Structure 1
Amino acid sequence: MSTKLLNIALADDDEDDRMLFSEAIEDISIRTKLSLFNHGQELMDYLNLPNVILPNLIFLDLNMPIKNGMQCLKEIRQNPDLKDLCIAIYSTSSSERDIEETFLNGANIYLNKPNNFGKLQDSVERILQLNWQYHTSNLNKDTFLFRI
């Protein structure tokens, strides 16, 4: 087990989803620090703070008020200081249009919100274990959509 701490951010407007995600992260073998945000604007305000410790991976819900996940994704990819962050789309949407649009706008992986806690835990752990440097250099539609 690695002693390195992974800095993870989750932006999701659903309180239950944030709680389940937080519990799933607590129960896996990877050491993490999780920062939770209620909507995309909260996340972007945090990412743009001076001297902020940037997350190793951001989980973005697509459908949020104030600033949605797609707006955050585009803003992050256009910002020279943030453009290399790893971004996992974490959404209930399984729409081909949403998957295609997030892929084209630079997300690294797309995870449909699992329908039970065990699948959520397994999915999050597997995503955190990915070798992101390898994963992003070989990114294609087959590796983009994370299947449980």
Structure 2
Amino acid sequence: MKKSYKHILLADDDLDDCEFFAEVFTRNFPEVKLSISSDGGKLMSLLGSPPDPTADLIFLDLNMPIMSGPECLEKIRNSDTLKDNIVIIFSTSSSQSDIAKMYSLGANYFITKPADFNDLKNLISKALAIVGETETSRPAFENFYIKL
């Protein structure tokens, strides 16, 4: 059964990346509410007082001020109320060590940010489809890294 999304959170300190991400949602998923947090501390504050509607997915950058992506992920996975949230790492990194670390910390998927807008649109669409059609919330490691 394919899942429909009502609310997606993006935590990323790169303004250009946030604008491209928001444009993808405005053009291709206008029915989805998108909330953007510019750092990990703001993300955790937002998650501390659940947004309405509750977020279906969190796209989380690795390198952010205040609190990094890995720090946020650890807090999310250690929280009784947040631990089941689907977290997709959304980073410029394609390092195997970063990918393995995020898997070990409990992220659901990992995406490397593409430079091209159409690739970004296609990659986000692919990620939403994979998450929406997956029976389990966490794949085997070989299916963790989503790429075009």
Structure-2-length-normalised TM-score: 0.90
CA distance in 2, matches of 1:10, 1:51: 13
CA distance in 1, matches of 2:24, 2:47: 24
Aligned residue identity for 1:32: V
Structure 2 equivalent of residue 136 of structure 1: 137
Question: Residue 24 of structure 2 aligns to a residue in which SS?
Answer: helix
Contact 1:6 1:32 in 2 (8 A): yes
Moved more, 49-58 or 108-117: 49-58
Aligned residue identity for 1:70: P
Does residue 101 (structure 1) correspond to residue 111 (structure 2)? The answer is no
1:98–1:63 Cα change, 3 Å: same
After superposition, give the CA deviation of every residue in 1:53-108 in whole Å (9 maximum; x if it has no partner): 43100000000011010000000000000000000000001111110010011100
Aligned residue identity for 2:142: D
Structure 2 equivalent of residue 66 of structure 1: 66
How far apart are 1:26 and its partner, in Å?
A: 1.4
Q: Percent identity?
A: 37
Structure 2 equivalent of residue 34 of structure 1: 34
CA distance in 1, matches of 2:58, 2:133: 12
After superposition, the CA RMSD in angstroms is 2.1
Number of equivalent positions:
146
Superposed, 1:15-30 pairs within 5 Å as: 15-29=15-29
Question: Residue 136 of structure 1 aligns to a residue in which SS?
Answer: coil
Gaps of 5+ in 2: none
How far apart are 1:50 and its partner, in Å?
A: 6.0
Structure-1-length-normalised TM-score: 0.90
Contact 1:25 1:124 in 2 (8 A): no
Aligned residue identity for 1:58: I
